[in-house]
């Protein structure tokens, strides 16, 4: 994205009739509300929470009282807290199972939706629907209902029972996947749209050239389409991880939210939030590393 600013095509903007000084002033002026907000509500809190995580923070009538504890908060969380480590593991497992499923499913769906099919718009409308209704409380209710009704329902399907009978492990795995499948799929809305746009932007003459050289559909898919949407895979992955982090079904953010108001205090909650963020950012960094565009 940052590269796009450099594109010579946009040079026109810099040949502005406004002087550079004027542009500088006006640009910052229009950006001012965002800039203030960024400093006050994102920049300062970012550093403040590092600071807070080394303190014991107590709320009194007069305000907040802080006492320095060094690495105490981190030590307590990692070695003494009963819920933090399991929640962290659950969170990491969730990210590593959900994200690939979401990305693969949304690519497949986007690929199909790009074909000349009847009812394409209908399908798109349905697949985008969850973006509109997805929220914490709704997810809780749906998952609650799904956990009680879904499994029994699945056992009624003949093929599933057959699989379960012959290969119990596969059946078990399918059960876990399918009882959460609706929820997992509900995160694919925006990635699908991103993939559709990316696939549409691929130059059709590339396909033509490949077909003339007698490439099969599979070869075209793996040698042309996939490499060209790599950037989109990365963006969708980052987007998905961010979305999974925001939602209240995430075990860790629930825990952090609880400990804000209970015994551990705000210092401990900050330390938890930091550990959580470091893990999230590391995962995002890892994805960026794996999916980065190799400069030819």
Residue located via tokens 């070695």 = 79
Residue 54 sits in the site that holds another protein (CB under 8 A): no
Candidate residues 8, 62, 70, 263; the one interacting with another protein per rule CB under 8 A: 62
Residue 23 sits in the site that holds another protein (CB under 8 A): yes
Residue 238 sits in the site that holds another protein (CB under 8 A): yes
| Tokens, residue 160 | 């599933």
Q: Is 275 helix (H, G, I), strand (E, B) or coil?
A: helix
Candidate residues 110, 237, 253, 264; the one interacting with another protein per rule CB under 8 A: 253
Range 90-119, binding another protein (CB under 8 A): 105, 109, 112-113, 115, 117
Burial class (CB in 10 A: 0-12, 13-18, 19+), 154: middle
Nearer to another protein, 18 or 162 (CB): 18
Residue 242 sits in the site that holds another protein (CB under 8 A): yes
Residue 289 sits in the site that holds another protein (CB under 8 A): no
Smallest distance from another protein to CB 126, Å: 5
Q: Are 57 and 48 in contact (CB under 8 A)?
A: no
Candidate residues 78, 142, 202, 210; the one interacting with another protein per rule CB under 8 A: 142
| Rounded alpha-carbon distances, angstroms, from residue 132 to 128, 139, 151, 195, 250 | 8, 12, 26, 19, 19
Q: Are 73 and 271 in contact (CB under 8 A)?
A: yes
> What's the chain's Rg over C-alpha atoms?
24
Residue 56 sits in the site that holds another protein (CB under 8 A): no
Candidate residues 65, 172, 176, 197; the one interacting with another protein per rule CB under 8 A: 197
């Amino acid at each position: 994205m940052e590269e796009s600013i450099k594109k010579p095509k946009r040079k026109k903007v810099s040949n502005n009739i406004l002087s550079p000084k004027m542009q500088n002033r006006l640009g910052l002026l229009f950006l001012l509300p965002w800039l203030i907000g960024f400093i006050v509500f994102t920049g300062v809190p970012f550093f403040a929470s590092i600071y807070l995580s080394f303190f014991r923070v107590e709320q009194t009538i007069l305000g907040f009282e802080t006492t320095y504890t060094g690495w105490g908060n981190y030590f307590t969380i990692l070695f003494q807290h009963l819920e933090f480590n399991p929640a962290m593991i659950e969170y990491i497992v969730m990210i590593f199972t959900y994200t690939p499923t979401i990305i693969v499913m949304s690519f497949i769906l986007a690929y199909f939706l790009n074909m000349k099919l009847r009812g394409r718009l209908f399908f798109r409308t349905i697949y985008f629907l969850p973006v509109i209704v997805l929220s914490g409380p709704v997810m809780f209710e749906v998952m609650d209902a799904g956990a009680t009704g879904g499994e029994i329902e699945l056992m009624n399907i003949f093929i599933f029972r057959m699989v379960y009978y012959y290969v119990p492990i596969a059946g078990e795995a399918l059960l876990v996947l399918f009882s959460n499948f609706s929820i997992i799929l509900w995160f694919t809305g925006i990635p699908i749209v991103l993939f559709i746009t990316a696939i549409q932007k691929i130059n059709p003459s590339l396909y033509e050239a490949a077909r003339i050289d007698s490439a099969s559909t599979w070869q075209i898919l793996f040698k042309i389409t996939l490499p060209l949407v790599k950037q989109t895979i990365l963006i969708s992955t980052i987007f998905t991880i961010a979305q999974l982090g925001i939602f209240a079904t995430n075990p860790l953010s629930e825990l952090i939210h609880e400990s804000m108001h209970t015994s551990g205090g705000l210092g401990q909650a900050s330390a938890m939030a930091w550990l959580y963020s470091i893990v999230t950012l590391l995962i995002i960094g890892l994805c960026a590393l794996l999916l980065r565009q190799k400069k030819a």
